[in-house]
Structure 1
Amino acid sequence: MIFPLFVAMTLLEIYVLASVGDAIGGLSTVLLVVITAFIGSFLLKQQGWATMAKAQNAMMNGQTPAVEMLEGVVILISGVLLLTPGFITDTIGLLGLLPFSRRYFINKILTKNAAKMFTQKKSIFIRTSSNDSKKSNKDNTIEGEFWED
């Protein structure tokens, strides 16, 4: 599923870059891509530090910084999209860096995946290994226990 999406996005980015380059010129298109990258990197740094401060504040108040962690994931994905040259990925990346649209993305992710997260069976895996230094790595025995509720 991801490979066709990657190919389609790449072809769409090339088409948009060629169309914009035809309309405003090649040099202007390259400069516009570079300018959006600089604006995006500035916003990425600013929003990343702001989210880190909010997470630290939540931990100091004894709260779990779950929302801040999700914001950090969206900011990370937005940064990757901003590193990819193109106008569509830059637009999506910039939207991920704006606080109001970032909350929208987080709400969509949570509503889409809430059923999956809360209906899976819980399982625990504990791994123990013997620390016998006389045996080589091939001869080490790994013992483990597995419970499924």
Structure 2
Amino acid sequence: MKKIFLSFVVYSLVELALLIGIGQKIGIFNTLLLIVATSVIGIYVAKNKGMNSVQKVKNSLALGEAPGPAVIDTMLNFSGGLLLALPGFLTDILGLLLLLPFTRKMFQPLVFYWMRKKMKNGQFIIVQR
């Protein structure tokens, strides 16, 4: 619990420092405009890329293929759009990293590892209907 609280405080302070620093460089109005623009883009991306990724999952299931990579791709696309929608520059940077195809490929093995670990511990269950 202490680690979560401490990480939240550190994240908030870094985000605030970035907002102040960028606000001083480009101006308050431009900073607020940039935050609103990235939020709108994030919502748009989460909706459209998310739907395209869900369609890829459906297609791979219809072909009888394992949807693992498509599911991970969908999760990373949606997470990237959601992070872009949140106000702040740190979340925007992480969101962009999750949305760009060449950097998203770097996150996929980490997500596979995390899911395997959760499945092994019984904390992540896949239900087949």
Q: Which bracket does the TM-score occupy, shorter chain normalised?
A: 0.7 to 0.9
Matches within 5 A, 1:39-54: 39-54=41-56
- What is the deviation of 1:21? 0.7
Q: Which range moved further: 36-45 or 58-67?
A: 36-45
Corresponding position of 1:17: 19
Equivalent of 1:67, from 43, 66, 69?
69
Q: Distance in 2 between matches of 1:81 and 1:96?
A: 9
Q: 1:79 to 1:121 in 2, by over 3 A?
A: closer
Higher strand fraction (1 or 2): 1
- Unmatched 5+ stretches in structure 2: 123-129
Letter in 2 for 1:46: N
Q: Which has the greater radius of gyration?
A: 1
Moved over 4 A (4+): none
- Unmatched 5+ stretches in structure 1: 123-149
Q: TM-score, normalised by structure 2?
A: 0.78
Corresponding position of 1:97: 99
Q: Distance in 2 between matches of 1:121 and 1:46?
A: 34
Q: 1:99 to 1:40 in 2, by over 3 A?
A: same
Q: 1:63 to 1:30 in 2, by over 3 A?
A: same
1:11-58: CA deviation from partner (whole Å, max 9, x where unpaired): 100000001111111111000111122222232223212211211110
Corresponding position of 2:89: 87
Corresponding position of 2:6: 4
Q: Distance in 2 between matches of 1:79 and 1:10?
A: 20
Q: 1:121 to 1:79 in 2, by over 3 A?
A: closer
Q: Distance in 1 between matches of 2:121 and 2:43?
A: 41
- What is the deviation of 1:82? 2.0
Q: TM-score, normalised by structure 1?
A: 0.69
Q: Distance in 2 between matches of 1:72 and 1:108?
A: 15
